[in-house]
């Protein structure tokens, strides 16, 4: 990038762009001073067009210096833009209209590229399904294929820490727009206060989320199942309508990484044109939501884990918007960072071609409870083994320690963290292999198959994959939750029968890690991971309005015998 000619830039702030219903959205436009025609890079966000996602990306002027007109726009109802902010509702039409407006900008050559991470990933994907003229490429980073599963909910459980902290952050701008500046300080305090009030019940009436500034939060909770409200934003239903090449960027500790991977796979196989299908790339680093850096949580992944995405994006847009033959499409389509080895690995497909999906079975003599127990993990199929027993008390949930959440590590549990403080609890079952005789590379999707019963008619089960170091440190790799009533999907959840054994199959998550020789692989099974996910009150409910007196203790029985072979399925590849 350093040998490229850099342009001098002129900036026009507050450029009004009129939408089809007459509402005007405000943008800052960065344009090269030299005469000529330039492609446009568009970023649409609800977090202030002046900030322009600078937490992880370079400033718009940096991109403009490389010969682009860059437009950073406040979405409807945010910042300096007109209208009311209704998350997701207006992003399809407003995105299409903004692309049309960008084509009319002075010096614009008609080609548009879109970029941005998190919510701005949705402001790319939603209008892309309308195939607006001029949209030539996009970079939907750290985003999902919809906003129900792996955004607001996970297999039926609410992404509580994320949704509550994100809502309270969005509320700050709502105070200004409603002309109540004297209330701003209290709303800012709510942002940090909500983290100390995750225990508040009911979820549907939260003191740190006043309804006049957090209407969207309460709107989401009215739709705890995957209904028509959510389906209209499901990108995975519209892959065949998208014809734009896309560079998908994600992080192994990001809340949206599963959706990021699904977007890549779905568009690779199902985009409208052959050019678009071939024009999909996936890059996943070891990062959490932001910032993207080598050191996160309690882990440093080395210099190769530093954020290189700005240069990558420039190569991407130079190819698709300028027609430069810079070799980016000759690179393998998949590039993932392998933790433990702390280096990048490229491949022609995902999962990797040489992947062997291997069962690791859970065993015990009936007391896998905590690190003090006798839980074992190996490839041997179980025989006649006693089941494990633990209780799930919703008023004493298992604490979240790191993991996949969003968006600020100081406010929500994110990244790698030593799990031993929760592994001392008797309501956490711990299954561990013997020390590994050689390196083991796990790269791809990790699935769980559990057999369990409960005295409740609804409850949760959680699974966590852990890398155990020779000195005992135990770092979380990936984790997930399954609400029992959502075992067959989230459109029409149904209660379970108390004390009946059910099979639960679910995706724990995707990852890329080398478990080094001498390390051990561990699996934790529990019934809560709080506040990453809301804790279940152990009662089947159609609404999310349960209070303190609606919860009761459930006795959980976890089976791992020949008829009920509970296991985790690991994608093993040669440990290059």
Distance in angstroms (rounded) separating the CA atoms of residues 279 and 271: 10
Q: Is 362 helix (H, G, I), strand (E, B) or coil?
A: strand
CB 450 within 8 A of CB 558: yes
Distance in angstroms (rounded) separating the CA atoms of residues 478 and 282: 19
Name the residue with tokens 């929760």: 422
Name the residue with tokens 């320690």: 401
Residues involved in catalysis: 118, 254, 289
Distance in angstroms (rounded) separating the CA atoms of residues 152 and 149: 6
Q: Tokens in use for 221?
A: 């909770």
* Strand boundaries in 472-566, DSSP class E: 474-483, 502-515, 520-526, 554-559
CB 132 within 8 A of CB 42: no
Farthest-apart Cα atoms in the chain, separation = 79
CB 146 within 8 A of CB 235: yes
The strand pair at 295-296 and 299-300 is best described as: antiparallel
Q: Tokens in use for 416?
A: 């790698």
Q: Is 525 helix (H, G, I), strand (E, B) or coil?
A: strand
Distance in angstroms (rounded) separating the CA atoms of residues 197 and 184: 19
Question: Which strand (E) or helix (H) includes residue 157?
Answer: strand 157-158
């Amino acid at each position: 990038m350093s040998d490229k000619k850099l342009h001098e830039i002129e900036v026009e702030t507050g450029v009004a762009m009129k939408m089809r219903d007459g509402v005007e959205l405000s943008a800052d436009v960065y344009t090269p001073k030299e005469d000529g025609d330039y492609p446009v890079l568009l970023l649409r966000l609800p977090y202030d067009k002046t900030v322009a996602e600078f937490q992880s990306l370079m400033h718009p002027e940096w991109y403009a210096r490389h010969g682009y007109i860059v437009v950073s726009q406040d979405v409807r109802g945010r910042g300096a833009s007109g209208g009311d902010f209704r998350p997701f509702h207006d992003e399809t039409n407003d995105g299409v209209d903004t692309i049309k407006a960008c084509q009319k900008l002075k010096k614009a050559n008609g080609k548009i590229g879109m970029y941005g991470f998190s919510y701005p990933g949705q402001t790319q994907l939603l209008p892309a399904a309308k195939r607006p003229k001029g949209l030539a490429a996009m970079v939907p980073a750290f985003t999902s294929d919809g906003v129900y599963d792996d955004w607001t909910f996970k297999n039926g459980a609410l992404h509580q820490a994320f949704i509550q902290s994100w809502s309270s952050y969005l509320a700050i701008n709502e105070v200004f727009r409603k002309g109540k500046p004297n209330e701003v300080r209290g709303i800012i305090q709510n942002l940090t206060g909500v983290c100390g009030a995750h225990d508040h019940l009911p979820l549907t009436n939260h003191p740190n989320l006043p309804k006049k500034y957090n209407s969207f939060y309460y709107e989401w909770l009215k739709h705890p199942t995957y209904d028509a409200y959510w389906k209209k934003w499901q990108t995975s239903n519209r892959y065949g309508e998208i014809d734009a090449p896309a560079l998908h960027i994600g992080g192994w500790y990001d809340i949206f990484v599963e959706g990021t991977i699904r977007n890549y796979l779905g568009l690779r196989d199902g985009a409208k044109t052959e050019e678009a299908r071939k024009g999909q790339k996936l890059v996943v680093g070891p990062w959490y939501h932001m910032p993207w850096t080598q050191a996160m949580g309690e882990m440093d992944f080395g210099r190769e884990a530093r954020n290189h995405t700005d240069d990558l994006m420039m190569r991407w847009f130079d190819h698709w918007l300028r027609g430069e033959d810079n070799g980016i499409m000759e690179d393998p389509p998949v590039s993932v960072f392998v933790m433990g080895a702390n280096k990048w690995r490229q491949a022609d497909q995902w999962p990797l071609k040489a992947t062997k999906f291997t069962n690791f079975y859970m065993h015990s003599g009936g007391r896998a409870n905590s690190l003090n127990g006798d839980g074992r993990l190996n490839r041997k199929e179980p025989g006649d083994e006693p089941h494990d027993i633990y209780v799930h008390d919703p008023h004493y949930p298992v604490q979240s320690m790191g993991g996949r959440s969003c968006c600020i590590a100081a406010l929500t549990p994110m990244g790698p963290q030593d799990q031993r403080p929760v592994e001392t609890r008797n309501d956490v079952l711990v299954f561990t292999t013997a020390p590994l005789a050689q390196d083991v590379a796990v790269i791809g999707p990790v699935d769980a198959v559990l057999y369990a019963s409960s005295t409740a008619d609804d409850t949760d089960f959680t699974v966590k994959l852990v890398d155990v170091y020779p000195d005992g440190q135990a770092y979380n790799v990936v984790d997930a939750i399954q609400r029992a009533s959502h075992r067959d999907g989230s459109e029409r959840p149904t209660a379970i029968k108390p004390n009946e054994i059910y099979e639960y199959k679910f995706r724990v998550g995707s990852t890329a890690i080398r478990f080094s020789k001498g390390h051990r692989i561990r699996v934790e099974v529990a019934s809560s991971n709080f506040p990453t996910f809301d804790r279940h009150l152990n009662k089947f409910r159609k609404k999310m309005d349960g209070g303190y007196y609606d919860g009761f203790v459930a006795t959980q029985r976890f089976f791992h015998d020949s008829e009920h072979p509970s296991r985790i399925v690991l994608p093993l590849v040669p440990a290059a």
